[in-house]
Chains A and B, each alone.
Chain A
């Protein structure tokens, strides 16, 4: 098993419940153990099945994609949806989920 952290920022992290640790007013964190070979997409898919706010705001479990208003960072680097699909998680990896918004 590999241990990874998932950090969710700003309004995407609303109403996630006590399983997520609040790092600050705008950041929520959860540590996850994943099997060897798990991709970022598979991790988000499994989280979406357990946490309805994630299915509603971050990852659409029906089409297995992050929503268009969401961006994912892998180890603090912005990645494209293609990388979300393909990147296999390693021990110690960090996934950050951020909202993309129009304006500002």
Chain B
């Protein structure tokens, strides 16, 4: 007789997901699945709409990372109208994009990943939440997380029109130039962000690296997958978020592919499973061989750990220093330990803050020439950025008037979906034995995917009532034999 354990809804995660864990007769894990109730109908919804409205429409897909969608859409419009932004336009975009990355990574590290690391995976459940993190790091730090985020959001609101749904990206540039005053505001925000990122790095060193148990946990086999990795790099193979070339490295760390975003369909394909709406991306060059890691499987990963794995380093000094410590501790690269994503995220936080400061100090950024007017007849456009959670593709086809006839979005979590499925299954197998399922074990299974910071039912804002954790244990006939609730 097999048993099914359902964890629903998952805690500390955007959207709502459900984990099914099927146990075999011996109480071991037969197979674990992550199911996603996806918001559907986007492709149909945008048909017939004006392409230039896409940055606004797509930024509303998600209340969490609207800037990533806004920017991918804006870059797709550059491609659609065959137009390059002038230097100032490009720099203003990258400045705001890095401000957004700082804000989002800070949130994840302290408030989403924090309960697992700062408070600790085995802390009482009443403490594994935002308030537990605030208690652990202290009120002043808690206030600083909120304060830094607010300063960054104020900057984005001042430059991009709105903090939540920016309205500044246009094909060929941005809607207005950066005044000297705003440049100073950006420089001040960047300075505070750098200071904050250094504190975050210190907090990580102290709470995680200072605890040998955590390091052992991070590097344990249950959280390790030897897959391919994908991410944007610059010309020197350094991590970049706003623009660059896609690079794929193999489980051995060697470069497999290097391609422009507009060629993504030559390399990325989607696999469909009967038990979920989620499509699983894989590398066409390798092929789909099921949920498996290794060089023979086309499963790949994106997001902070993947970006550090595909790059040869970081383009700013403090981030490079942190990167070297990371590689020395967990290397040689590629680092295949999923839980190292939290560390990678902090290194990226440092980079994003430093990059903001570089751009804010660039005299060219206040040049009034911020847009190149498009003149080409539109047909097809592809835009790619590194969202906080990984590579994000926007792809539109239009008629000659610029009305959308087809749209395809490959979001970060979709790129990661196969590896996330691997992680959930492997963690469940390693941690659940003899049918013994306690809350600590379930939390550790959840940690396996929280490290990816996955984002699922992006635009759903419905109050979930109370955020309960429901675990259902079912026998082979589907009858409920046990229900555990966290409410």
Whether chain B is bound by chain A comes out as no
- By a beta-carbon cutoff of 8 Å, the part of chain B in contact with chain A is none
Interface residues of A (CB under 8 A from B): none
